[in-house]
Amino acid sequence: MSEHHVVPIKTYVKTLLTLIFLTFVTVKIAEFDFGDLNVAVALFVAMIKASVVALFFMGLKWDKGFNAVILITSVIFMSIFFLFTLGDIETRAQTDKVEAMRFGINSPVKIIGDGHSESRSKNH
């Protein structure tokens, strides 16, 4: 039979206070401009908060190692998907310049018409 670890209320209170503190840290760092590191700093603090939740609220600290392996593997694959997405977003400006030269587009947004449909203008 598997044993279940009983977590004392004191641990949950400490975890709650830690998460509240990290939320204040998140708000405070949002007031500063870290330049290109804005997203990295925000994700770092979010990763710490998620780790606290996973370890204490989800009980991974006292659970078998297999569940931690599954969680870490999931986070690694999610990070890979985020990196591909961020790579795409970061290179869009370069792609827009190439498309602008090739197709004569002055904006990444292609405007179709003047905003009024022809059926409306015929009725008025």
Does 114 map to a domain? no
User: What CA–CA distance (Å, rounded) separates 4 from 101?
Assistant: 64
Does 117 map to a domain? no
Does 115 map to a domain? no
Question: Are residue 22 and residue 51 in the same domain, yes or no?
Answer: yes
Question: Are residue 41 and residue 71 in the same domain, yes or no?
Answer: no
Helix (H) or strand (E) holding 30: helix 9-30
Model confidence pLDDT, tens digit, residues 59-84 = 888 887 888 888 889 889 998 998 89
Residue 92: both structure tokens together:
């869009």
Question: Are residue 56 and residue 18 in the same domain, yes or no?
Answer: yes
φ, ψ for residue 21, nearest 5 deg: -60, -45
Question: Are residue 42 and residue 99 in the same domain, yes or no?
Answer: no
DSSP assigned state of 56: I
User: What CA–CA distance (Å, rounded) separates 18 from 109?
Assistant: 44
Q: Are 46 and 29 in contact (CB under 8 A)?
A: no
**Over its length of 124 residues, how does the chain's per-residue pLDDT go in tens digits?**
457 778 889 999 999 999 999 999 999 998 989 888 888 898 899 989 998 998 888 888 888 788 888 888 988 999 899 889 888 878 877 776 776 677 766 665 655 766 555 555 555 5
pTM above 0.85, yes or no: no
Question: Are residue 57 and residue 94 in the same domain, yes or no?
Answer: no
Total tally of structural domains belonging to the chain: 2
**Residue 60, pLDDT score:** 82
**Residue 92, pLDDT score:** 75
Could you list the residue range(s) of the whole structural domain that residue 34 is in? 1-62
Question: Are residue 68 and residue 47 in the same domain, yes or no?
Answer: no
Question: Are residue 12 and residue 41 in the same domain, yes or no?
Answer: yes
Task: Give the 3-state secondary structure of residue 7.
Answer: coil
